[in-house]
Chain A
């Protein structure tokens, strides 16, 4: 994986995103560790998770890990926050799957506060409060690029708009036009988000169509494409 990241950098790939799972045939359970190594061996490629399951993690620890990667890589770390398609991390880390929604909503609220790179006072439902708490290492450039991963839920678009975070659309094969209903022009009016602008990008592993530039029906442009790697230790992909 590290060598693939280095090769991607040498080949001019803009961004590499590493997924994670916690089962036997998946190579990565801790993408930040690999991203740090890749970051130390590369110069240009952006280093992302795809995705970080914030629901079954701790926002403070996620921030600390990625801000460390960010420092090692001279500001190239990017966090893609998601809720996860699979559920194995919930029992593994002691969370109840029935709290699937509140865990993400609550922790996203804290993570958004941490991104301001200032002392945080926060109170929520799923973890102890923070009072005027600083989190280290701080981000030298002021903030850290953070996305909301979207796999098909309109509510994810609403969340992104609420926190003014960009979307990362999980177009893993298939026709990208099926994400057209995810546009803010479609969802916005029913969620008091009319006129809001949400930046979008897409991540793709395989696609039958060119993915570099797509116009959404609200006139926004999906600006770039990342490569999401979901490595399988058995080499079946």
Chain B
């Protein structure tokens, strides 16, 4: 994990929480 990834999680929340469907939805939203 890079510093930028860490800072992003603080601001927007981790992408990797919840079911695989939830994770996929978050990744799609932030892409």
- List residues of chain A with CB under 8 Å of any chain B CB: 83-87, 100, 150-153, 170-175, 178, 205-208, 232, 236-237
B11 A173 Cβ-Cβ under 8 A: yes
A83 CA to B21 CA, complexed, in Å: 11
- Contact partner of B23 (CB less than 8 A), chosen from A85, A150, A174, A208, is A85
The majority secondary structure among interface residues of chain A is: loop
Which residues in B have their C-beta under 8 angstroms from that of A87? 20
A85-B22, A151-B22, A237-B1 given as contacts; is B12 within 8 A of A173 (CB)?
A: yes
The residues of B that contact A208 with a CB separation of less than 8 Å are: 10-11
Closest to B1 in A: A236
Q: Are A206 and B10 in contact (CB under 8 A)?
A: yes
Residues of A contacting B20 in the complex (Cβ-Cβ under 8 angstroms): 84-87, 100
CB distance from A214 to the nearest CB of B (A): 15
Who on chain B is nearest to A234 by CB? B1
11 contacts between A and B (CB under 8 A): A85-B23, A100-B20, A150-B18, A151-B22, A172-B9, A173-B11, A174-B11, A174-B13, A174-B14, A208-B10, A208-B11
Among A85, A100, A150, A178, which residue has the most Cβ atoms of chain B within 10 A?
A: A85
Is there an interface contact between B17 and A85, defined as CB atoms closer than 8 Å?
yes
- Is B16 in contact with A152, judged by CB distance below 8 angstroms? no
A178 touches B1 (CB 8 A): no
